[in-house]
Structure 1
């Protein structure tokens, strides 16, 4: 037998033996580690009332959290949603909990600088080691006492072992890092809690039955664009002379011809706007788009971030809300390459976190406009994490952002068409129409649900306190 085959067989037997030993010893070793909750004099229970996990956060929108139009970034709101839901999950499980998935999130009203935002979260239902947390976001102006509904979200969290990390190398191997643990059963008491409890199981079955499409091909194309292995549609930026750096400058020799071309383009834009009589669109000349369509590769954007301790939870795992905020930044960059206007995030499709990233990892986010409509566009965003110590790169999650373009008066702006350049791009483009119909239906259902809830609250008998 050749020595290489002998070494390979030996390594295979050795790895199987190690896995067998760890499979037997890890659960035992985990139980030997102290539980900080029990050591503090508390007793773990098998069931908890739903209202115990309820939490209310209040935030004030600052200018640093807003775009140039003064509207808060959706990533900021998503970050608060994730934190509030995480606190509610930890309060119910009394264990570190990490985000597993986020259902579709639709924003029904923008939030401006100075607005007071209220985020309410509570656990709707718990299973063996996972929980669904419902989050409601409302806001009010500091100059008015009227509240308005902003968004609603459902997040799934998984509880991990609360036992401390082992101090030795052997102990860390035997403890196997993060292990899922059982969480208390949730006991709904009120009518609304029972309703949320029943609906949570329906949503859970829908998550399991939904088969997520594989977009690996377009992710490979974006990675090649990132590494310069494929020619992209855009070229190097031209040199723009600025009077602050140039003592004197000359006008373009073809300036008169350029003016004539601009007048022709303006006439074409006016004709296009006149044809779209069914809906009002912006006629602000500053929002005039120079091109009617752009290649999909032109909208490619990339954001690279280093995960710092402030971006992670107590287990050094990156906050799901932080990942979503970085995803929105990348999506905004892609959208702005397609259209020059004010941008607002209208919705985020459901996100499933396949793997997690941690402190010290490099997170790379890539995005591209998958399809554009009259005044809105769908942006596909993918995320991968790289461990610089081991060189391991892993795909963490992806999702679709819906972004709208408006002018100063919040009137929709007609945006160019995003044209696919390859087969993966066409697959992404063709699925955009069905995904848009799904979002519109879900938005309508959310509006009806909120209106029905308000009607029930208005018709409920008042309780007079003596």
Structure 2
């Protein structure tokens, strides 16, 4: 690993309170562990199962610091490991966990893992993860959790985005089912001939049993979630080794989701099998079932996870694999679901890796990436709204115009307070078909697709900046969100997407928007603070720079027109319009 590739510790400067005391998050827990031979696999590298146990322990301690009562693991989000720098015996693993947000009886804990070589001082990132815990009171009752109060800008960002991550978790299985039934995945049905090198899936099947002993339990005598995940990883690795005839490296884990508890004395049956193989990776499905000591003939499904493995050769190049012939029945279903999960992972990677200075910025929209693209749209606006160091450029009547330059990018913000209830403002601004009534940049509007109650794709045409150029058009995904807790803003997020149904045309210049939208905060009973944000792109910049340099007052006029539009239509809004 070169010096430029080593980890930069992405921590904010210390947050100093008014009394001069350095602020430390009260839920933050740090754990450092030496990798000893007992933590390593047969290659002398850290067992991922051991890492999962350390992660779960650290996150649980953080959760209980906030809840002030025992907490149990409910889920752990997808994990993408970066093992380009191996974690070997003698290295140190540093784990940091803190509570991002509490939701009634559950809370999200953010986990970051780095490693270091104490001999050389090198540090590097291993992975990030988000775990969900449920607070447990006496008996089987759940505990109503107090709210998290974020203090630093980074905490405020994580607090805000946690709500969107929670939404994505709830839609995860639904997204897989929708994609499996789509024509894209149906075309991936297995079709083998005798000339192909095919490995029957049943040859990779692994089944093992573990007895839950007191050392495997937590302080509530339930099976420790980290131990269950470690057993699952071990079973999956055995299955993976049978398939690849080598030493597999775990690359990603699809979300762990605990469906039920197990106790000391239970037998945990772990079943693993290779579901599907791709060119340079393959997926292993593993499930954990508990046979309770009260009735050995009854079992409970505890957890399922899907792990993707790769096999690098001595030079670091990834090996290729033969195809997998699935078992009849459920095997074919698992085969298709593995293809669906791979497509979602690739879509996510593409969405995240799109550089804001590259063209095209728009991401192809389809049902498989709908949930994650919507999440990315809303979270990008929340991150933009949380940025600091805005510079006030001008004030005109009720409008304030500010800019921010960061990483060679220009961000723009317009703010004002209107004497209209926040719910009414939200409904009026959500109706994009009326935006041309107050925004001269929106000349023509067409609804392309209503994705669901919260997400809509539409096509808008904007007039040219000068007479020598064509009009511009944009294909925009609009994602709206109502607050999930008191104090949260209403949001309307916008970003460009591409659709085959709306290709670029010769008579219009296709423009793109990377991040834009409104945040709406209630100010008293009948007033709303409106903030409009936009990250400029080459196509959007000409509409804005005239205002920033003081050469035009168009944008101020648009903001004033918005205020007038809201005042005139505030009595036409029905509260049932808010989904």
* TM-score, structure 2 as length reference: 0.52
For 2:262, the equivalent position in structure 1 comes to 357
Contact 1:102 1:155 in 2 (8 A): yes
Shift of 1:108: 1.3
Q: Deviations over 1:47-80 (max 9, x none)?
A: xx98100010001112222223222121111111
CA distance in 2, matches of 1:185, 1:313: 25
1:194 is the counterpart of 2:153: no
Relative distance call for 1:54 and 1:443 in structure 2 (3 A) is: farther
CA distance in 2, matches of 1:419, 1:413: 19
Note the 1:441-456 alignment, pairs <5 A.
441-443=347-349
Contact 1:50 1:123 in 2 (8 A): no
Match of 1:295 among 180, 200, 203: 200
Match of 2:248 among 343, 350, 372: 343
Shift of 1:330: 0.6
Shift of 1:112: 1.9
Contact 2:79 2:254 in 1 (8 A): yes
CA distance in 1, matches of 2:217, 2:351: 34
CA distance in 2, matches of 1:424, 1:51: 47
For 2:92, the equivalent position in structure 1 comes to 116
Contact 2:207 2:269 in 1 (8 A): yes
CA distance in 2, matches of 1:343, 1:329: 12
1:88 is the counterpart of 2:50: no
In angstroms, what is the RMSD of aligned CA positions? 2.7
Shift of 1:416: 2.6
Query: Could you say which structure has the greater relative contact order, defined with CA pairs below 8 angstroms and 6 or more residues apart?
Result: 1
Shift of 1:292: 3.0
Note the 1:30-429 alignment, pairs <5 A.
51-109=25-83, 110-161=86-137, 163=138, 177-211=139-173, 292-391=197-296, 392-429=298-335
CA distance in 1, matches of 2:316, 2:164: 37
Which ranges of structure 1 fall in alignment gaps of 5 or more residues?
1-48, 164-176, 216-267, 269-290, 461-466
CA distance in 2, matches of 1:368, 1:442: 25
CA distance in 2, matches of 1:95, 1:125: 16
Relative distance call for 1:115 and 1:372 in structure 2 (3 A) is: same
CA distance in 2, matches of 1:65, 1:407: 23
Relative distance call for 1:55 and 1:446 in structure 2 (3 A) is: farther
User: What is the SS of the residue equivalent to 2:126?
Assistant: strand
Q: Deviations over 1:103-161 (max 9, x none)?
A: 10110124222111100000000021111000000001122222111011101100011
1:433 is the counterpart of 2:339: yes
User: What is the SS of the residue equivalent to 1:187?
Assistant: coil
CA distance in 1, matches of 2:174, 2:68: 31
Which ranges of structure 2 fall in alignment gaps of 5 or more residues?
1-22, 178-194, 356-379, 389-405, 408-579
CA distance in 2, matches of 1:389, 1:345: 36
Shift of 1:362: 0.4
More helix by share: 1
CA distance in 1, matches of 2:345, 2:56: 21
CA distance in 1, matches of 2:42, 2:300: 34
Contact 2:282 2:308 in 1 (8 A): yes
Of 68-77 and 332-341, deviating more is 68-77
Relative distance call for 1:63 and 1:447 in structure 2 (3 A) is: farther
User: What is the SS of the residue equivalent to 2:118?
Assistant: coil
CA distance in 1, matches of 2:242, 2:120: 37
Contact 1:129 1:182 in 2 (8 A): yes
For 2:475, the equivalent position in structure 1 comes to none
Contact 1:58 1:119 in 2 (8 A): yes
Relative distance call for 1:212 and 1:114 in structure 2 (3 A) is: farther
More strand by share: 2
Contact 2:109 2:132 in 1 (8 A): yes
CA distance in 2, matches of 1:315, 1:448: 45
CA distance in 1, matches of 2:342, 2:170: 22
Shift of 1:428: 1.2
CA distance in 1, matches of 2:353, 2:100: 20
Contact 1:360 1:387 in 2 (8 A): yes
Relative distance call for 1:295 and 1:318 in structure 2 (3 A) is: same
Contact 2:176 2:337 in 1 (8 A): no
